[in-house]
Structure 1
Amino acid sequence: MALRKLGTDPDSKNSGSPTVYLDEETGNYLLQGWKVLDAERLAQMDIPDHETVIEFPQRMVQFFPEVNGGFGEDV
């Protein structure tokens, strides 16, 4: 699997999360973010056992190629 890092949150205090990756083989995005553990929020979703929920800030949308003209932060 060839992953390409598209961008890390410019407001991250530790420069590690959230992050957007592209799987160049499948064309799917992988999102690294904060685990959602709040039971009240999770109860409002229908989450299968094989899935998880992460929180991802709106400011990270800038790293998706569909938004930024096809480039990630490492270009």
Structure 2
Amino acid sequence: MKLHKLGTTSNAGKCPTLYEMERGDIIVQGYRLTDPEALAQLEDVLPNETFVVVPRELMTRFAPKE
């Protein structure tokens, strides 16, 4: 499956970064959420799910618009 890099707000070429998959889904590369208080507030979490912190600037600057 081919990915298209949408953009990043990183100066060092690491994360956070947004990618778009061929079928239109979005992949988010970012730092894993580890704050216990925040994690405790998440609902309906499946075993294979994880959570990443996405800076607002990344989403407003690079997220695809429909």
Q: Which amino acid aligns with 1:21?
A: Y
Deviations 1:12-37 (A, max 9, x none): 2422110000001x210000011001
SS at match of 2:65: helix
Q: Structure 1: which 4+ aligned runs deviate by more than 3 Å?
A: none
Report the alpha carbon displacement of residue 38 of structure 1 after superposing the two structures with TM.
1.0
Counting matched residue pairs gives 64
- Identify which of 5, 16, 19 aligns with 1:18: 16
Q: Which runs of 5+ in 1 are unaligned?
A: 68-75
Secondary structure in structure 2 of the residue aligned to 1:66? coil
- Cα offsets for 1:31-70 (capped at 9, x unmatched): 0011001111100002211100000000012112208xxx
CA distance in 2, matches of 1:4, 1:52: 22
Unaligned runs of 5+ in 2: none
In 1, distance between residues paired with 2:11 and 2:42?
A: 29
CA RMSD between the two structures: 1.4
CA distance in 2, matches of 1:37, 1:45: 12
TM-score (norm 2): 0.87
Which residue does 1:3 correspond to in 2?
Answer: 3
| Identity %, equivalent residues | 38
Q: TM-score, normalised by structure 1?
A: 0.77
